[in-house]
Amino acid sequence: MRQRFISIWFRHLTTDWCIRRQPALGNTAFVLSAPDHGRLMVTAANAAAQQQGIDAGMTVADARALVPHLQVLDDQPGLPIRLLTALGEWCIRFTPLTAIDPPDGLMLDVSGCAHLWGGEAPYLADIVARLQKNGYEVRAAMADTMGAAWAIARFGKLSPIVEPGEQAAALMPLPPAALRLNPAVTERLHKLGLHQVHNFIGMQRSALRRRFGPGLLQRLDQALGLEIEAFLPLQPVEAYQERLPCLEPIVTGTGIEIAVQRLLEALCARLQKEEKGLRTAVFEGHRVDGKVEQVTIGTNRPSHNAAHLFKLFELKIPSMEPALGIELFVLHAPKVEEAPSRQNVFWNKAGGLEDANMAELLDRLTGKMGAGIIHRYLPAEHYWPERSMRPATDLHEKNTAAWRTDRPRPIRLLPRPEPIEVTAPIPDYPPMLFRYKGQLHTIKKADGPERIEREWWLEGGEHRDYYCVEDEEGRRYWLFRSGHYDVDRPRNWFIHGFFA
């Protein structure tokens, strides 16, 4: 696929931004200024000020001598870069590859994008029209190389679209400054009477290098496409990303659902072909007003099942606010893992962790109830109850130890033991009743004690004597006494878990 680039030149970047914030400035001449070596210098002038002979680089005193009623505003350090970055991120709706071109331009890699707008001419016209509607005076051009697009955008007088392979002919009538040369080199070319590119493009390269340095040849080769020029996008493009621009802004939930389905079908087809599955997916809706609506889903195992993934997004689509409309949808998968095809079997043990239906059920439950609701635990090689299990990182993590089955253990273990009031008859006997959270429980059955010593190599402290007890309503609890029974020093009792 042939590369195509668009260069956008903001002729009055900072002053147009000021007019957007203060519309009353649109009919007056004003400049932005900043101190420089004890003098107040003009850093930018709006179109009205430029028509009266004022431009960047003049002192404010000289500018006011020309235009007494000139308004002077303070410039903000770093403002052009911040504006270009914001505008570049806004232009992601036209192409995923946008880069800033300081001090007053953007560069877009639009390879393979124009057909979505019906061709290069309507594509470029739409970009320019939208920027002008937002209050920016711009010129833009499209060509095979960044250098040619930059030159035509700033110095071209005919068509803003350079046909593929025609950049050399388009550059011929332009001045040397169109090649992005050092001002000193440009001035030297003009002194020698070389006022257009065709005046020196046919000269011997050795003579040009000796007289003007290697920079002239490098810029010329970049503009002609003979040398590759680095392109640094604002946002690296995800390896797995699909985009869906809209001819008309989408404002309904049904339209958003259709967009999700189309993007998922395209992305999942690619993932299935490469035997991969996504673990995280992000769906973005770029609104007409410049804001981005975003929802994220996650899966317990790699998946390229478009129908299942759509059900996860379907739960979150109502949270998206289209406002005046969404003009671009983007779906990307920042986390992708291997998902090799599995051989079908005639029968299989249902409900196992390898069952895809189990993973999809957990995904739907997580989508409805939120992240952090469903947990999976694995045994850990510790005797102390609080350390005898650990949370699993994912659905496929294997056991490194065996669950203890020789003694009863509660289904639900409290994060930390909670104190209770207990009445016990004699030492080492289970309690007859206990009070927990203000409720009295009479014990009908009990088993124990089971002594669990502390792991002295990790921490010091007293042992615990655990009892499995059942109250009059059939509910079962795991209680313990901390330390040895002592008549002179009553020991504390705790509840640590609940049986099924």
DSSP 331-373: EEEEEEEE-PPPPP-S---TT-TT-HHHHHHHHHHHHHH-TTS
Return the pLDDT at 424. 81
Rg (CA), the chain: 36
**Strand 71-74 to strand 30-36: parallel, antiparallel, or no bridges (unpaired)?**
parallel
Return the pLDDT at 457. 84
Return the pLDDT at 487. 65
Residue 113 DSSP code: T
Return the pLDDT at 456. 83
pLDDT digits (tens, 9 = 90+) for 341-389: 665 554 555 555 566 666 767 777 776 766 667 777 788 888 888 888 8
Q: Quickly name the fold that domain 1-28+69-237 has.
A: Alpha-Beta Plaits (3.30.70)
Is the distance from CB of 69 to CB of 48 less than 8 angstroms?
no
Q: Sign of the C-alpha dihedral, residues 246, 247, 251, 253?
A: negative
Q: Which residue has the tokens 């960047």?
A: 56
Return the pLDDT at 19. 93
Residue 400 φ/ψ, nearest 5 degrees: -110, -5
- Taking the mean position of all CA atoms in its chain, how far away is CA 81? 20
Burial class from Cβ neighbours inside 10 Å (0-12, 13-18, 19+) for residue 394 reads exposed
| Consecutive 10-residue averages of pLDDT for the chain (500 residues) | 91 93 90 90 92 91 91 91 93 91 94 89 94 93 95 92 93 94 92 92 90 92 92 83 88 92 93 90 90 88 89 89 90 87 53 64 71 75 82 73 81 88 79 91 90 86 91 93 75 88
1-28+69-237 and 241-367 share one fold: no
pLDDT digits (tens, 9 = 90+) for 404-456: 777 888 888 888 899 999 888 776 678 899 999 989 999 999 988 889 988 88
Instruction: Give CA separation, 242 vs 18, 99, 269, 273, 401, in Å.
Output: 36, 20, 11, 15, 43
The number of beta carbons lying within 10 Å of the beta carbon of residue 342 is 8
Domain spanning 241-367, CATH architecture? 2-Layer Sandwich (3.30)
Instruction: Give CA separation, 11 vs 60, 107, 186, 203, 399, in Å.
Output: 21, 15, 21, 33, 64
- Taking the mean position of all CA atoms in its chain, how far away is CA 275? 25
Residue 302 preceded by cis peptide, ω within 30:
no
Return the pLDDT at 186. 93
Residue 103 preceded by cis peptide, ω within 30:
yes
Measured between alpha carbons, how far is 409 from 483 in angstroms, rounded to an integer?
A: 20
The answer for residues whose C-beta is within 8 angstroms of residue 491's C-beta and 6 or more apart is: 481, 482, 483, 484, 485
At residue 2, the 3 state secondary structure works out as: coil
Sequence ranges of the domains in the chain: 1-28+69-237, 241-367, 375-500
The number of beta carbons lying within 10 Å of the beta carbon of residue 417 is 20
The number of beta carbons lying within 10 Å of the beta carbon of residue 314 is 17
